[in-house]
Chains A and B, each alone.
Chain A
Amino acid sequence: MEILGVIIATGAVGAAFFYTILPIMRPQTAQGVLPDEDSAQPLTDREVTRLLMEREQAYKNIMDIEFDKEMGKLSDEDYDQMMTPARARAVGVLRRLDARGVKEGMAPVRISEREAAEAAARLETKRPPTEKVAIEKPHSLDERLEAEILRYRKQVGKSPVELADPPSDEQAKSPKPRFCASCGNAVSQTDNFCAACGRQLS
């Protein structure tokens, strides 16, 4: 009996040790334990990481403001005061990400390009044509923000405000962000000068 016990214990322990060293003997079994360098964001790029985090927070912030408004915790005035800089901040982050060549939907908001295109197309069809402005496609960024937030909601599984239908075009347009005509930086409704280039805003 004692011998049998030793044999069974040795067998179990041997199997565990063999399983442990298997990846060292056959490195092909170890695939997928390290992030794929091509698709993952390089850890050294701290700035991009920071921007992506900031973008995620900007979206969450917008959703929270909408929720608080719907729950009656924000007056119309407070809502406008908080939403305008919140949207401007999100647009600013998107622009800075664009400048670094970061693709839409990249982590931490993981949404496929196809979903992004579909959401943007849906908004395009709903939205009346906006007047052309001299600055570098500000309206496309605004729309992209709408689309991104919509997709973000889809990703985190929350409908807008989790209460009502998605905001109508009228609602979505009301706190329209402003941009500096000189450098394209996002500015808040109350700014008189651009924080980036110092130009007086009209």
Chain B
Amino acid sequence: MIAIQFGHYSLLASLVLAVFGIGACIFGAIKRRADLIAAGRNAAIGVFWLVSGASVALVYLLMVRDYRVEYVAGHVNNTLNGFYRFSAFWGGQEGSLLLWLLLLCVYAFVVIRQNRHRNLELMPYVTATLMATALFFLVILNFVTPPFDTLATPPADGRGLNPLLQDWGMVIHPPNLYLGYVGFAVPFAFCIGALASGKLDTDWITSTRRWTLFAWFFNGVGILLGGAWAYKELGWGGYWAWDPVENASLMPWLVGTAFLHSVMIQEKRGMLKVWNVSLIIITYALTIFGTFLTRSGIISSVHAFADSSFGWAFLVYLLVAVVISFGLMIWRLPELQSEHEMESFFSREASFLLNNVVLMGITFAVFWGTIFPVVSEAVKGVKVTVGPPFFNQVNVPIGLLLILLCGAGPLFAWRRTSRKQMNRSFVYPSVVAVGALVVLMLFGVHHVYAALAFGLSAFVVGTIVLEYWRGISSRVRHQGERIVQAAWELTMRNKRRFGGYIVHLGMAILFVGVAASSAYQEVGEVRLRLGESFALNGVRMRYEGIRENTTPQYRSAFARLGVYRAGYRIGEVEPEKRLYFTPPQPTTEPGIRRGARSDIYAVFAEADPDGTATFKFMVNPLVNWVWAGGVVFTLGSIVCFLPERWGRRRKKRA
């Protein structure tokens, strides 16, 4: 009971403190009252401690299975192990909203600590903006979906966690995505701080560069982990289905990517100030929109929580946030003029701008495809389903242009690049791309989009190799370093630039995986008797038997399939069919034999009493390149994130 009351009153007190904090910060900043600003800051710190306390209380209640609490009774049961009881914290509506709020408060606390002695003009507004976001979630958690509501008669056993969420991927995917989603609130808050205070230099950008990178990285990793979970858990053989909630997580990442590129133009050339402000406002709005999509129940998705009645609250908040943000931007327009003009189309800034246009184009296409069913239902009364064909048809050509820019951008100099230098820079990557294309076509790659994706990815790799080669040879020449040392020093002394190149490399690898696994996936559905086999794309699968297993949570049946290639047994896969006891729900766990060339993917659809079984087989070429690309993407992001002086060789004193 102590934890229940503590959690309940902490959230209520946090709401009061957040309201006070917003008022004190804004009023204090306008009147230049240090005591009020400090009180507002302390209120934000108080909110952090109280929300942390409430979160610990909820985790405690889940761990001890206190079924008096409605949320606990609805999301854990007597057989659920400690790992999943902990993850039930974000397994339901109320808990996941509390996690959103908790991360926001942690970020606010860290931002306040980081900026004790700097950005003093901005900080009152930054704190107020972060607290305004927190206030919205506190209103919902206090008055709409309270996580500490109790039941009049507690049940003897809980309803348990959704079986689909009982997977390690689902345990780490939501917090990862939230780390990113919520993280975008920090650069947004600094942007609002800059607009409100009139301190419109690049300080708000440089101060939040790492925060933006942090949010963008976790958003990206969250998307990839979601894909890995879908591939391993949902049993349809893919990792991305243009599901509305997948789209909702992709959109802020795309705009965030545009923002990360375009801020460089503002930092270096003092251009695109209005554009950058707009981008971060849109990114923030899209994170709220994404949360709205999962909560509102207006779309049907594998990710969506049960229909809830408070979707309107998100829309109202979204509207208020967007109107205030863009209102501030319009108010400051005269001070947001560009200091320079674009000198040449053949320049780094022009390529970044084009990359921004392309990314925004993809975002708009995804946004439109996502909301179109809702719009059509509202306007015509008919819910039109927008599926993968629309998204693929629109986004694949734009995506190819994006890969091209990934490779071309680094080859341009800032301001302008002469034709002669451009020819010199482009020749090697182009030769690599054309060479790769010719070789692949000779080996039978005739799918136009896939071939273009492979060729353009080769172009990106060629560019990165060329950039490294130029840098390394310069260091070897001037510093007398060995090649490996020169490569390390080059990366460590230019973390942002070369970390970015490593991210580009990861994206190129990922694109190859996506193109191959989409264009050349082979699918077969077959009914087999014991001992019979089925061949698909040179792989033969033989049905060898069934074994059963029972755990406290579920009963399952495994079908054993021997895998043969060119007559040789190369292993076996065991797709599984489970029936969970509470809640009673069947699930399929695919059997996957992973390989660098292709994955063999088998789904056990059903078994009949006569001994026959129905299977769905898939051969997914290069799908592991998607995950490998994700690992390289992670490495590159870490390089960008490292402190400026980390990893650099110290110069010897003479």
Which residues of A does B touch, CB under 8 Å?
1-2, 4-6, 8-10, 12-13, 16-17, 19-24, 27, 29-35, 40, 43, 46, 49, 52-54, 56-57, 60-61, 64-65, 68, 70-75, 77-78, 82, 108, 156-159, 161-165
Contacts and interface: CB of A to CB of B under 8 A. Distances in A.
Interface in B45-68: 45-47, 49-50, 53
A26 to B, nearest CB: 9
Contacts of B53: 12
A5 B20 contact: no
Contacts of A74: 413, 417-418, 421
B261 interface: no
B34 A5 contact: no
B37 A82 contact: no
B470 A30 contact: no
Nearest to B5: A5
Contact of B1 (A1, A19, A65, A164): A1
Contact of B470 (A1, A72, A162): A72
B375 to A, nearest CB: 43
B421 A78 contact: yes
8 contacts: A5-B1, A12-B6, A20-B39, A23-B42, A57-B269, A72-B470, A74-B418, A78-B418
B50 A16 contact: yes
B20 A20 contact: yes
Contact of A108 (B117, B121, B203, B475): B203
A35 B50 contact: no
Given A16-B50, A163-B471, A27 B35 contact: yes
Given A57-B270, A163-B475, A20 B43 contact: yes
A106 to B, nearest CB: 13
Contacts of A5: 1-6
A19 B45 contact: yes
Contacts of B202: 53, 56, 108
Given A57-B270, A73-B417, A165 B6 contact: no
Given A2-B1, A35-B121, A57 B268 contact: yes
Contacts, number: 179
Interface in B181-204: 197-199, 201-203
A33 B201 contact: no
Counting chain B CB atoms within 10 Å of each CB, the highest count among A60, A74, A163 belongs to: A163
Interface of B: 1-6, 8-10, 13, 17, 20-21, 32, 34-39, 41-43, 45-47, 49-50, 53, 116-117, 120-121, 123-124, 197-199, 201-203, 267-270, 335, 339, 411-418, 420-421, 424-425, 467, 470-471, 474-475, 478-479, 490, 493-494, 644-645
B493 to A, nearest CB: 4
A162 B270 contact: no
Contacts of A46: 335
A16 B13 contact: yes
Closest 9 CB pairs of A and B: A23-B38, A16-B46, A5-B5, A30-B38, A9-B9, A68-B413, A164-B478, A5-B2, A13-B13
Contacts of B47: 16
A47 to B, nearest CB: 12
Contacts of B471: 71, 163
B46 A71 contact: no
A29 B41 CA distance: 12
Mostly, the A contact residues are helix
Contacts of A61: 268-269, 414-415
Given A17-B46, A43-B198, A33 B2 contact: no
A167 to B, nearest CB: 11
B9 A24 contact: no
A62 B343 CA distance: 16
Given A12-B10, A74-B413, A20 B1 contact: no
Given A53-B202, A71-B467, A163-B478, A13 B121 contact: no
Nearest to B343: A82
B339 A54 contact: yes
B338 to A, nearest CB: 12
Nearest to B4: A5
A165 B411 CA distance: 23
A55 to B, nearest CB: 11
A170 B34 CA distance: 53
Nearest to A44: B198
Nearest to A27: B35
A16 to B, nearest CB: 4
B10 A65 contact: no
Contacts of B43: 20
Given A54-B270, A82-B415, A12 B35 contact: no
Given A24-B36, A33-B37, A73-B413, A53 B201 contact: yes
A164 B479 contact: yes
B2 A1 contact: yes
A77 to B, nearest CB: 8
Given A54-B339, A64-B414, A73-B413, A43 B38 contact: no
Given A17-B46, A20-B39, A73-B421, A60 B121 contact: no
B38 A19 contact: no
B339 A165 contact: no
Given A34-B120, A57-B268, A12 B490 contact: no
Contacts of A60: 267-268
Contacts of A68: 413-414
B2 A4 contact: yes
B378 to A, nearest CB: 44
A34 B470 CA distance: 48
A10 B320 CA distance: 34
Given A34-B37, A43-B198, A162-B494, A20 B42 contact: yes
A163 B474 contact: yes
